[in-house]
Every structure is written in structure tokens, then in C-alpha cells.
Amino acid sequence: MKKVVKFGGSSLASPEQFEKVGKIIKSDPHRVYVVPSAPGKRFDGDEKVTDMLYGAYALAKKKKSFTKELNAIKARYQEIIDGLKLKVSLSGEFDKIKEDFEKTCGEDYAASRGEYLNGILLAAYLGYEFIDAATVIFFHKNGDLNVEKTQKCLSEALNNTPKAVVPGFYGAMSDGTIHTFSRGGSDITGSLVAKACRADVYENWTDVSGFMVADPRVVKNPKSIETITYRELRELAYMGATVLHEEAIFPVRKEGIPINIRNTNAPEDEGTWIVEGTVQKSKYVITGIAGKKGFCAINIEKDRMNSEIGFGRKVLQAFEENEISFEHVPSGIDTMTVFVHQSEFVEKEQRVLAAIHKLARPDSIDLETDLALIAVVGRGMKDTRGTAGRIFSALAHANLNVKMIDQGSSELNIIIGVKNDDFEDAIRAIYTIFVDTQI
């Protein structure tokens, strides 16, 4: 049995957090490969080391002094070294970083040093081998991951190293230039390591006990989700529920390796299991609720629309020509509505409207702004009668007007459109009917 464990920035932000991480790793001998992020925030208002590095590098690029900024970063690591009484010095590393910054070695290189240095410290603390990600994770020139080379080099290195720390977030191009994933990308490194060593589980340790049924900023103390499938997760993530980098799912999903989201500050909690498939029923019919504000609806009317072949295509062509992607297209007999992101639409609206007129010749178009979409997601909905009914009676009881309804053919989700102002109340009403009353 092999486990890959990835720790996020807040789990490794201070010596106290390092100690918690050490305990977690030592408590299970299967936790053999560790992927750290850079030190994150220690308290509200604190700065992440990655952001500090971007800041210092921005000054270096402008040929301004960055000594103060680099010293502040040094101090973050020194706090960890002193707190844990490590016999490690990073001063050689910092001399090299200073030199490289002066040579303007690239923003990605600069940002990657956060994980690199934290990896060195964590390896020393655990007594594990340190494997520099630049020697095992590779990118093509265009920035895409070089999947074959990475898989080959990473699995070879892991085969020869029974216990290792591999820093997250970065790798190298064939010419040695450092390249990073997008922000939060240590999750992807963890997933690649899990795939390369054929781990039994990929544990992703963060500062929450897994995914919640609803956003805790909207619902007070929401229940956490015990098991979620990759498809459900994708629906919720698309609607803004984030705990894990989206691209981290693919490598492990293909290998059938489950992900377990865990909380470094509450290691006894089971967290959330993300799996390909499960026969386990979710506790509450629905698995989760998520949503986003800031949509607008373009309502198009044309008499006898239903018998005009190609009408829908012509309308959508107007959006395509203006490079706007649509979210949902509910339709009636003589009406069709297109939901789009308001921020994308605003600047192009007159061009899009003119194109709809030209291509589809509608009788009228009207616009509605400030709308929100809410996704109610659950693999259990397919087999449960009355789910939609419960959602809408909950919304009616809360006096909330539903603007749009869309149920995917997979019956995995129901999407509801409401006014931005009703967004929070609608989520709370749906949460209450399924979780609190639990009938």
C-alpha cells in the first residue's frame, strides 16, 4: 500500500504547521511520497510566499532593489528552520536566487522557489529524500505538460527512492527553463506523483475537512460531503466550488486512484473521497449545491420559431462570431433564451444583438441582467422521485422567483436561474430542505 500526500500552503506556513504535518506522515508508514506547496498564510492578512516571490521578482525585472522583499521571504523560511531546530542553511540557495533574479531568470522560476525551498526543509525534517521537480516533471515549449517524459522520469526516480519529497507547482522545459502550472498547481504535481508510483490513494491535505454540501460563506456550518464522484465534482467545480485544482483530477482518474481531501488541522476527520464510481448513496439525495452570480439572459422571440429549421444555430452563431460562450439555452415554442456571463457580454452586446438581428431576424429581443445560476448536483437524484418538486417548493416557500430551470439529461444536476439578489437565500432554502429537514 502506497499513499501520496500533498500539503497545501496553509498546512506548511509555520513551524507549528510543519509539526502537524510531520505527525500525520509519521502516523501512517504508507505515506511515502510527499508533495508540499510553498508556505501560505499564517493568519488573516498574511502574505503567501508565492505572492511575495512574484512581488520581489517584479522589482528585479524593473531593475529596482528587491533586498527588503527577499529578506522578508528569507525570514519566513528561517522561522521554520529555527522553530523546528533544523540543521539546514538556505543561505547558499538565497545567494543563488538573488543572482538569478538579477539576471531576470523568469517569473516562473521566481515563483517556483517557494515550493523548492519548502521541499528542502520538509525533506530534512522528515528524513526523506529530496527530488527536485525540475528533474522529473517536464513541459513542452508551449507550456503543456510533457506527459510521456514526465511519467517515465518520475516513475524511474520514485522506483529508486522509497521515501521522497517532491515539491509541487513546477517542472522544467527540455532546455532546463523552469515552468510552473497555473496557481494552485501543486495539486497537479501530487496527482502526477500518485499516478507515477501507482499509489493506492492520493491524499490532499488542506485546511478544510473536504468539500461541503454548500459554500460555508452562504450556509452556516454546512455538512461535508463524504463521497463524491468525479462527474459530480466537475459540475460543482464549474459552478465555483473549489478545493482542488481542476487539472489535478485527470491523471489519477485515469488510473482509478481515489483522492481523499483531508484537513491538516483536524486529521481525525475522514474528509471527502473523490471516486470514479460508487454504490454508496449520498446522505441527502443531493450531493452538493454551488452557484455563480453575474449572468445575463438574452430572450429572443419569433413567431413560429419552432418550425424554422436552423433558427437556434443562427442565434448561437451570433455568439460564436463574437467569441462568447453560452451557459444555457432554455427554449419555448416561440422563444429562446441564451444565458451568458455578463462581464463577457457587456462590451460586445451591440455587436451580438446586431448579429442576431442580421442572422436570425427575430421579432424582438429583450435583455435581463444580474442573474445567478445555481446547480443542485447529485447522483442520487436519478433514482429519487420528487427532487425537482422539493427544490421548487422550497424556493416558493422562501418567496423566491425562479427565472430558469434546466435539467441535464444525465439527471445529475438541476440548474436554476434566480436574481443575483436572491442567490444566497435560494441556496439556503435548497440546503435546508435537503439537509436540515432530510425527508
Q: Minimum CB separation from ligand ASP for residue 290, in Å? A: 21
- Binding to ligand ASP by residue 242, rule CB under 6 A? no
Cell of 297: 439572459
Question: How many other C-beta atoms lie within 10 A of the C-beta of residue 421?
Answer: 11
The span from the CA of 155 to the CA of 357, in Å, is 57
In whole angstroms, give the CA distance from residue 281 to residue 289.
17
Per CB under 6 A, the segment of 68-76, 180-188, 287-295, 300-308 that binds ligand ASP is 180-188
CB-based contacts of 95, cutoff 8 Å, min separation 6: none
Size of the site for ligand ASP (CB under 6 A): 13
Q: Candidates 131-139, 182-190, 233-241, 328-336 — which segment interacts with ligand ASP by CB under 6 A?
A: 182-190
The residue type found at 73 is I
Residues 227, 210: Cα–Cα separation, whole Å: 10
CB under 6 A: which stretch of 98-106, 178-186, 349-357, 425-433 binds ligand ASP? 178-186
321: alpha, beta or left? (left if phi > 0; alpha if psi -120 to 50) = alpha
How far is it, in rounded angstroms, from Cα 374 to Cα 386?
18
**What is the smallest separation between the CB atom of 114 and ligand ASP, expressed in angstroms?**
5
Residue whose CB is less far from ligand ASP, 110 or 414: 110
Q: Does 38 help bind ligand ASP (rule: CB under 6 A)?
A: yes
Our finding on whether 48 is near ligand ASP (CB under 6 A) is: yes
Q: Rule CB under 6 A: choose which of 5, 12, 52, 114 binds ligand ASP.
A: 114
Element (H, E) at 172: strand 170-173
Piece of the chain touching ligand ASP by CB under 6 A; list 122-130, 185-193, 323-331, 419-427: 185-193
Tell me which of 169, 205, 273, 319 binds ligand ASP, using CB under 6 A.
Answer: 169
Instruction: Rule CB under 6 A: choose which of 3, 7, 9, 192 binds ligand ASP.
Output: 9
Q: Give me the 60-99 binding string for ligand ASP, x by CB under 6 A, dash otherwise.
A: ----------------------------------------
Backbone φ/ψ region at 15: left (φ over 0), alpha (ψ -120 to 50), beta: alpha
How far apart, in whole angstroms, are the C-alpha atoms of residue 102 and residue 207? 36
Cα 322 versus chain centre, distance: 28
Q: Closest approach of Cβ 191 to ligand ASP, in Å?
A: 12
Which residue in 119, 167, 184, 291 binds ligand ASP (CB under 6 A)?
A: 184
Residue 258 Cβ, how far from ligand ASP at the closest point, in Å? 20
Number of other CB atoms surrounding residue 317 within 10 Å: 15
DSSP state at residue 219: S
168 binds ligand ASP, rule: CB under 6 A: yes
Q: Which of 269, 284, 292, 293 is nearest to 228 (CA)?
A: 284
Q: Of 11 and 229, which CB lies nearer to ligand ASP in the complex structure?
A: 11
Question: Residues interacting with ligand ASP, by CB under 6 A?
Answer: 9, 37-38, 48, 50, 114, 168-169, 183-187
